[in-house]
């Protein structure tokens, strides 16, 4: 935000402080590759998107990209987790960590997992210690569409549950007393969800937390279902969770996808998962990517929140973004800016009435499609 000095002089002191604070936050956020709920952010001095130029391609298998040192990571970590798009199986990843001044650990190979559409993730584990991260990619040629979307470091701590009997986990049911209709939600069966690796812990929802996946934004249902399956594989095999962490995911066309069952505990907001429903928007709504929340996506999000809020008596004040709980960019600046409008619209009476003065997005004119089978 560029204010001429004569305009700044006219602003109240508190307003100037608020503007400067916002600018500082933007600078901090724009310099990082955010790990969201997967770990701790890894920051670099250059572009956080880490796009790799095909101009560096070579006919021989060689280093196609070297990130250079990340900014210092003061927390002790033992695992680096990387995801992206546009990869081929012949590429290989390696990581290294700073050990002392101007000294680095030996390169550690990170096995690559690639889906048919090029979405990939890779992970490598070292001994636990603080230190900067360095990543490089080797191969003979680099696909033009190749991008690293996310880098996270953490200390391995697979999901663990409470002391709840299996019988309670199986039989636990919440009353359905919603006054709002249930929107169309595509089931786990449609995206061929894997079975959880452990029994779920039951949950009695009292909060709703909005996230973004910090991955690709999808529009077609077919591509969305593939992306949700990728997210599940990434979180189960990469992070060690029992299942996909979110309860619901929503794409840019307004398709709502079932993640974990809504009456079980998720794994999406570390330290605050109990009785907390996680809804993730597919895409990256933070600089420098700056995906935008579409009208259809907002339509679906409001419909889903209204249904869940009335069903479980969740007040609008309990609708939050991931960054309200932790130091993270999630759910991205564009999505986070819509939270006041979400709360306001959630508290309005039926029928749904969207007004451009209330919401900082395009006028929402798309109809909501209800699931008549429910």
Mean pLDDT computed over 237-249: 94
CATH number of the domain within which 311 lies: 3.40.80.10
Residue 323 and residue 248 share a domain: yes
CA atoms within 13 A on the CB side of 330: 30
109 in Cβ contact with 68 (< 8 Å): no
Residue 43 and residue 25 share a domain: no
Residue 53 — very low, low, confident or very high, per pLDDT cuts 50/70/90? low
Residue 110 and residue 190 share a domain: no
CA torsion sign for 56, 44, 246, 211 is: negative
Least confident of 61-75, 173-187, 281-295, 309-323: 173-187
Residue 138 and residue 63 share a domain: yes
In a domain, 373, yes or no: no
Identify the domain containing residue 142 by its residue range.
37-154
In a domain, 369, yes or no: no
Average pLDDT taken over every residue of the chain: 78
- Say which DSSP state 189 is in: G
Buried b (16+ CB within 10 A) or exposed e, 265-279: bbbbbbebbebbbbb
How far apart (Å, rounded) are the C-alpha atoms in residues 216 and 228?
11
CATH number of the domain within which 98 lies: 2.60.120
Mean pLDDT computed over 81-107: 92
93 in Cβ contact with 82 (< 8 Å): yes
Count CB-CB contacts under 10 A for residue 137: 25
How far apart (Å, rounded) are the C-alpha atoms in residues 209 and 271?
13
220 in Cβ contact with 253 (< 8 Å): yes
Mean pLDDT computed over 209-222: 94
pLDDT digits over 268-295, tens only?
A: 988 899 999 999 999 999 888 889 999 9
Least confident of 91-95, 193-197, 270-274: 270-274
165 in Cβ contact with 118 (< 8 Å): no
- Residue 364: predicted pLDDT: 31
Higher confidence at residue 144 or residue 351?
A: 144
| Pick from 250, 161, 146, 157: nearest CA to 197 | 161
Residue 47 — very low, low, confident or very high, per pLDDT cuts 50/70/90? low
pLDDT digits over 335-366, tens only?
A: 999 999 888 887 765 444 433 333 333 323 33
- What kind and span of H or E run contains 26? helix 13-30
Per-position DSSP letters for 34-96, written without gaps between them: --GGGSEEEE-SS-TT-B--GGG--SSSEEEEE--PPSP--S-EEEEEEEEES--TT-EEEEE
Residue 302 and residue 261 share a domain: yes
CA atoms within 13 A on the CB side of 301: 32
- What is the model's pTM? 0.76
> φ, ψ for residue 320 (rounded to 5)?
-135, 170
In a domain, 324, yes or no: yes
| Domain stop point among 102, 121, 154 | 154
Q: Which token pair is 124?
A: 């490598």
In a domain, 53, yes or no: yes
Higher confidence at residue 374 or residue 176?
A: 176
Residue 227 and residue 303 share a domain: yes
In a domain, 365, yes or no: no
Per-position DSSP letters for 308-364, written without gaps between them: HHHHHT--GGGEEEGGGTSSS-TT-HHHHTTHHHHHHHHTSPSS----TTTSSSS--
Which of 7-21, 176-190, 211-225 has the highest average model confidence (pLDDT)?
211-225
How far apart (Å, rounded) are the C-alpha atoms in residues 11 and 109?
54
- Say which DSSP state 86 is in: S
How far apart (Å, rounded) are the C-alpha atoms in residues 99 and 279?
39
Residue 25 — very low, low, confident or very high, per pLDDT cuts 50/70/90? very low
How far apart (Å, rounded) are the C-alpha atoms in residues 231 and 239?
11
**Number of domain units in the chain:** 3
Residue 61 and residue 11 share a domain: no
| Domain stop point among 154, 182, 214 | 154
- Residue 306: predicted pLDDT: 92
**Residue 96 clears pLDDT 50, i.e. is over it:** yes
Residue 105 and residue 17 share a domain: no
Least confident of 39-43, 274-278, 365-369: 365-369
Residue 193 and residue 119 share a domain: no
Residue 222 and residue 74 share a domain: no
| Pick from 300, 285, 312, 280: nearest CA to 345 | 300
- What kind and span of H or E run contains 9? helix 5-10
In a domain, 126, yes or no: yes
In a domain, 363, yes or no: no
- Residue 282: predicted pLDDT: 96
In a domain, 362, yes or no: no
- Residue 51: predicted pLDDT: 54
Residue 189 and residue 95 share a domain: no
- Residue 293: predicted pLDDT: 93
- Residue 346: predicted pLDDT: 77
- Say which DSSP state 184 is in: P
Q: Which token pair is 358?
A: 């209330």
Q: Give the helix, strand, coil percentages of the chain, each rounded to 5.
A: 25, 25, 50
């Amino acid at each position: 935000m560029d204010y001429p000095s004569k305009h700044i002089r006219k602003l109240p002191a508190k307003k100037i402080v608020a503007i400067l604070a916002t600018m500082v936050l933007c600078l901090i956020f724009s310099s990082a590759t955010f790990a969201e709920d997967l770990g701790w952010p890894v920051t670099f001095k250059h572009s956080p998107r880490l796009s790799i130029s095909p101009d560096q391609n070579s006919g021989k298998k060689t280093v196609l990209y070297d990130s250079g040192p990340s900014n210092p990571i003061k927390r002790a970590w033992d695992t680096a987790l990387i995801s992206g798009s546009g990869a081929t199986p012949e590429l290989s990843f390696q990581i290294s960590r700073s050990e002392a001044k101007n000294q680095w650990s030996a390169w550690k190979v990170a096995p690559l997992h690639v889906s048919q559409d090029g979405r990939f993730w890779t992970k490598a584990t070292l001994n636990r210690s603080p230190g900067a991260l360095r990543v490089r990619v080797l191969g003979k040629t680099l696909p033009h569409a190749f991008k690293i979307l996310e880098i996270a470091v953490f200390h391995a701590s697979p999901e663990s549950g409470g002391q709840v009997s299996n019988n309670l986990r199986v039989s636990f049911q919440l009353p359905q007393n919603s006054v709002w209709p249930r929107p169309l939600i595509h089931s786990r069966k449609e995206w061929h969800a894997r079975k959880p690796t452990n029994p779920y812990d039951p949950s009695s929802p009292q909060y709703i937390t909005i996230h973004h996946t910090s991955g690709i934004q999808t529009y077609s249902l077919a591509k969305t279902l593939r992306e949700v399956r990728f997210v599940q594989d990434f979180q189960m095999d990469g992070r060690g969770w029992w299942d996909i962490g979110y309860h619901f995911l929503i794409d840019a066309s307004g398709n709502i996808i079932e993640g974990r069952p809504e009456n079980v505990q998720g794994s999406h907001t570390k330290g605050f998962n109990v009785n907390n429903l996680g809804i993730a928007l597919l895409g990256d709504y933070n600089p420098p990517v700056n995906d935008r929340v579409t009208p259809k996506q907002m339509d679906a999000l409001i419909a889903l929140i209204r249904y869940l809020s009335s069903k479980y008596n969740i007040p609008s004040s309990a609708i939050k973004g991931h960054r309200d709980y932790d130091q993270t960019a999630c759910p991205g600046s564009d999505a986070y800016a819509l939270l006041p409008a979400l709360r306001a619209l959630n508290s309005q009476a039926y029928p749904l009435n969207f007004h451009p003065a209330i919401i900082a997005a395009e006028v929402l004119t798309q109809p909501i499609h209800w699931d008549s089978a429910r």
